[in-house]
Structure 1
Amino acid sequence: MVLTVFTWRYGGREVYLYGSYNGWGDRTVMNLVNGSAMAFSAAIDLPPGYHQYKFLVDGTWQVDEEQLRVIDENGVINNLIFVEEPSVNAQRLPPEAVRSTLDLDSIRDMQLEASSSGVLPNGRILQLPEDRTDASRHRLFVHLSSFKAHDLMPYSGEAIALDTEVAVKQAFHIMYQQGLPVMPLWDAQNSRISGMLTASDFILILLELHQFRALLTDEELEMHTISSWKNDKLQYQRDVAGAFLPLQRRELIQVGPDDSLTDVALTILRNEISSVPVIYSPEDGFCPQLLHIACLAGILRHICWHFRHSLEYLPLLQQSICNLPVGTWTREFGWANNRTLLTLHPSSSLGCALNLLIRARISSIPIVNDNGVLINIYSRSDITSLANGNVYAHIQPDQTMLSQVLNEAGHDRYRVCTRFASLYTVMEVLSDPGVRRIFVIDGITRRIEGIITLRDVFNLILS
Structure 2
Amino acid sequence: MFDSVQDGGHDSSGVLVPVLIPWLFEWRYGGRSVSLCGSFTRWSESIPMSLAEGRDDVFQVVWNLTSGHHEYKFCVDGQWRYDENQPFAEGACGLVNTIIIAREPDMINSTSSSPTPGRSNMDVDYDIITPAVSLSHGTLQEAIPMISSVDLEVSRHRVANFLSTHTAYELLPDSGKIITLDINLPVKQAFDILHEQGLSVAPLWDFCKSQFVGVLSASDFILILKELGNHGSNLTEEQLEKHTIAAWKEGKLHLTRTMDGNGGSFPRRQLIHAGPYDCMKDVALKILQNKVATVPIIHSSRDGSFPQLLHLASLSGILKCIYRFFRHSLSSLPILQQPICSIPLGTWVPQIGESKPFAMLRPNASLSAALTLLVQAGVSSIPIVDDNGSLLDMYSRR
What is the TM-score with the length of structure 1 in the denominator?
A: 0.57
Equivalent position of 1:390 in the other structure: none
Displacement after TM superposition at 1:313 (Å): 1.6
Inter-CA distance 126–278: structure 2 relative to 1 (3 Å threshold): closer
Displacement after TM superposition at 1:364 (Å): 1.6
1:155 to 174, 184, 187: 174
1:76 to 97, 102, 111: 102
**Alpha-carbon contact 2:276-2:299 (below 8 Å) kept:** yes
Displacement after TM superposition at 1:378 (Å): 1.1
Displacement after TM superposition at 1:156 (Å): 2.5
Equivalent position of 1:228 in the other structure: 247
Displacement after TM superposition at 1:22 (Å): 2.5
AA aligned to 1:373 is S
Give a deviation string over 1:136-190, Cα, whole Å, max 9, x none: 1111111111111111112333321011111111111111122211110011111
**What CA distance in whole angstroms lies between the structure 2 residues aligned with 1:248 and 1:337?**
33
Equivalent position of 2:156 in the other structure: 137
Question: Would you say 1:192 and 2:211 are equivalent positions?
Answer: yes
Displacement after TM superposition at 1:104 (Å): 8.5
**Alpha-carbon contact 2:8-2:19 (below 8 Å) kept:** no
2:384 to 353, 367, 383: 367
Displacement after TM superposition at 1:93 (Å): 4.5
Number of aligned residue pairs: 295
Superposition pairs for residues 199-278 of structure 1, below 5 Å? Answer: 199-237=218-256, 247-278=266-297
AA aligned to 1:125 is P
Inter-CA distance 251–244: structure 2 relative to 1 (3 Å threshold): closer
**What CA distance in whole angstroms lies between the structure 2 residues aligned with 1:135 and 1:93?**
26
Equivalent position of 1:293 in the other structure: 312
Equivalent position of 1:357 in the other structure: 374
**Alpha-carbon contact 1:75-1:132 (below 8 Å) kept:** no
**What CA distance in whole angstroms lies between the structure 2 residues aligned with 1:304 and 1:226?**
37
**Alpha-carbon contact 2:273-2:298 (below 8 Å) kept:** yes
1:318 to 331, 337, 356: 337
**What CA distance in whole angstroms lies between the structure 1 residues aligned with 2:273 and 2:259?**
29
Give a deviation string over 1:341-385, Cα, whole Å, max 9, x none: 12100100000111111122222211001110111111222xxxx
Displacement after TM superposition at 1:293 (Å): 0.9
What is the TM-score with the length of structure 2 in the denominator?
A: 0.65
Question: Would you say 1:174 and 2:200 are equivalent positions?
Answer: no
Displacement after TM superposition at 1:53 (Å): 9.5
Equivalent position of 1:346 in the other structure: 363
Q: What are the ranges of 5 or more consecutive residues in structure 2 without an aligned counterpart?
A: 23-66, 69-99, 127-140
Displacement after TM superposition at 1:55 (Å): 12
Equivalent position of 2:321 in the other structure: 302
**What CA distance in whole angstroms lies between the structure 1 residues aligned with 2:19 and 2:232?**
64
Bigger Cα Rg: 2
Inter-CA distance 104–224: structure 2 relative to 1 (3 Å threshold): same
**What CA distance in whole angstroms lies between the structure 2 residues aligned with 1:53 and 1:169?**
63
**Alpha-carbon contact 2:146-2:342 (below 8 Å) kept:** no
Give a deviation string over 1:293-350, Cα, whole Å, max 9, x none: 1111111111101101112221122222222142222244x3x422111210010000
**What CA distance in whole angstroms lies between the structure 2 residues aligned with 1:244 and 1:132?**
46
AA aligned to 1:225 is T
Inter-CA distance 177–160: structure 2 relative to 1 (3 Å threshold): same
**Alpha-carbon contact 1:330-1:341 (below 8 Å) kept:** yes
Inter-CA distance 229–51: structure 2 relative to 1 (3 Å threshold): farther
**What CA distance in whole angstroms lies between the structure 2 residues aligned with 1:274 and 1:76?**
34
Give a deviation string over 1:61-86, Cα, whole Å, max 9, x none: xxxxxxxxxxx6666375649xxxxx
Match of 1:248, SS?
Answer: coil
Give a deviation string over 1:260-319, Cα, whole Å, max 9, x none: 011111111111000100111101553211111111111111110110111222112222
The percentage of aligned residue pairs carrying the same residue is: 44
Question: Would you say 1:279 and 2:334 are equivalent positions?
Answer: no
AA aligned to 2:171 is L
Inter-CA distance 93–306: structure 2 relative to 1 (3 Å threshold): same
**What CA distance in whole angstroms lies between the structure 2 residues aligned with 1:21 and 1:245?**
73
AA aligned to 1:292 is H
Inter-CA distance 131–327: structure 2 relative to 1 (3 Å threshold): same
The Cα RMSD (Å) is 3.6
Superposition pairs for residues 38-77 of structure 1, below 5 Å? Answer: 76=102
**What CA distance in whole angstroms lies between the structure 2 residues aligned with 1:184 and 1:240?**
25
**What CA distance in whole angstroms lies between the structure 2 residues aligned with 1:318 and 1:54?**
18
Equivalent position of 1:22 in the other structure: 7
**Alpha-carbon contact 2:8-2:17 (below 8 Å) kept:** no
Match of 1:330, SS?
Answer: coil
1:337 to 342, 345, 354: 354
Give a deviation string over 1:185-206, Cα, whole Å, max 9, x none: 0111111111000111111111
